[in-house]
């Protein structure tokens, strides 16, 4: 459901803007700074330079990763990229700028989707998954639907990710990797353990560009390069790696 309204103050630039029922832009491509000002006014906010710092950072993140940052990652970006980042990444500072929440209100004004944790998305689709038939659209190397291991039956999504993350263990990872013709080495385990650490710290599985960025900081250029990671996981370090690591499929732009 969508609504339309005219803004007299910004009529030349805005004309008629389509919004969703929650007041967000129906088409993200319609966003510009004048529309942001209008959306802010509807929220009772007057945009100042401090607001624009956060809005621009939100949009830069979305442009790079094709997904809005969750709060922990947003605060990390602010802390690292903005002057006085430690202050500006505090909850008090962000709540003062966006009283209804930097993720909900900030992304609305920035013309972006609301970020969601993987667990929230999994919860939305778990019923659909249970009812759907496990028939792959094309031949795949990973498990689809259900498979048996050590006399137990495990359920996976159509993309091969475990439905119940608590089922995962290292023996199961070895078995799932062998299905994809991968023999896990210490180098594979380093990436798998990093994926799992990232997920349990931030609540999302990183897409490849985000994975490379964070691994580069901690493990260096050699172990975070495109060639190195794809040598280990030819099906994609995020897509294939997440399956073997027992994590949800990454959101946004994945393996490219």
Identify any residues that bridge with 25 across adjacent strands, giving them in sequence order: 19
Contacts of 4 (CB under 8 A, 6+ apart): 16, 17, 18, 19
Residue 147 burial (CB count, 10 A): 18
Active-site residue, 52 included: no
Distance CA 34, CA 64 (A): 23
- Residue 62: CATH number of its domain: 1.10.10.370
Alpha-carbon torsion (92, 106, 6, 47), positive or negative: positive
The answer to whether residues 85 and 169 belong to one domain is no
* Burial class of residue 9 in the structure, from the number of CB atoms within 10 Å of its CB (0-12 exposed, 13-18 middle, 19+ buried): exposed
The answer to whether residues 66 and 169 belong to one domain is no
The answer to whether residues 98 and 126 belong to one domain is no
Distance CA 245, CA 25 (A): 36
Identify any residues that bridge with 153 across adjacent strands, giving them in sequence order: 148
Q: What is the pLDDT of residues 170-209, one digit of tens each?
A: 999 999 999 999 999 999 999 999 999 999 999 999 999 9
**Annotated catalytic residue: which of 107, 227, 253, 254?**
253
Q: What is the pLDDT of residues 31-67, one digit of tens each?
A: 999 999 999 999 999 999 999 999 999 999 999 888 8
């Amino acid at each position: 459901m969508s609504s339309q309204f005219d803004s007299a103050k910004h009529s030349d630039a805005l004309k008629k803007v389509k919004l969703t029922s929650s007041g967000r832009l129906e088409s993200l491509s319609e966003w510009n700074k004048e529309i942001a000002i209008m959306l802010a006014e509807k929220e009772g906010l007057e945009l100042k330079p401090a607001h624009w710092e956060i809005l621009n950072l939100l949009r830069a993140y979305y442009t790079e990763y094709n997904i809005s940052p969750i709060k922990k990652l947003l605060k990390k970006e602010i802390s690292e990229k903005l002057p006085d980042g430690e202050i500006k990444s505090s909850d008090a500072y962000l709540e003062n700028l966006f009283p209804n929440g930097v993720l909900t209100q900030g992304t609305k004004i920035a013309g972006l989707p609301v970020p969601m944790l993987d667990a929230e998305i999994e919860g939305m689709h778990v019923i659909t998954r249970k009812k759907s038939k496990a028939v792959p659209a094309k031949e795949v190397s990973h498990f689809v639907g259900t498979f048996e291991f050590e006399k137990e039956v495990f359920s996976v999504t159509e993309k091969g990710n475990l439905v119940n993350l608590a089922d995962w263990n290292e023996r199961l990872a070895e078995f799932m990797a062998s299905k994809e013709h991968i023999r896990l080495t210490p180098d594979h385990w380093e990436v798998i353990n990093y994926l799992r650490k990232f997920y349990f710290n931030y609540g999302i599985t990183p897409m490849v560009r985000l994975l490379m960025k964070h691994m580069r900081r901690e493990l260096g250029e050699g172990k975070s390069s495109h060639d190195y990671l794809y040598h280990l996981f030819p099906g994609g370090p995020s897509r294939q790696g997440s399956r073997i690591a027992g994590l949800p499929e990454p959101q946004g732009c994945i393996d490219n």
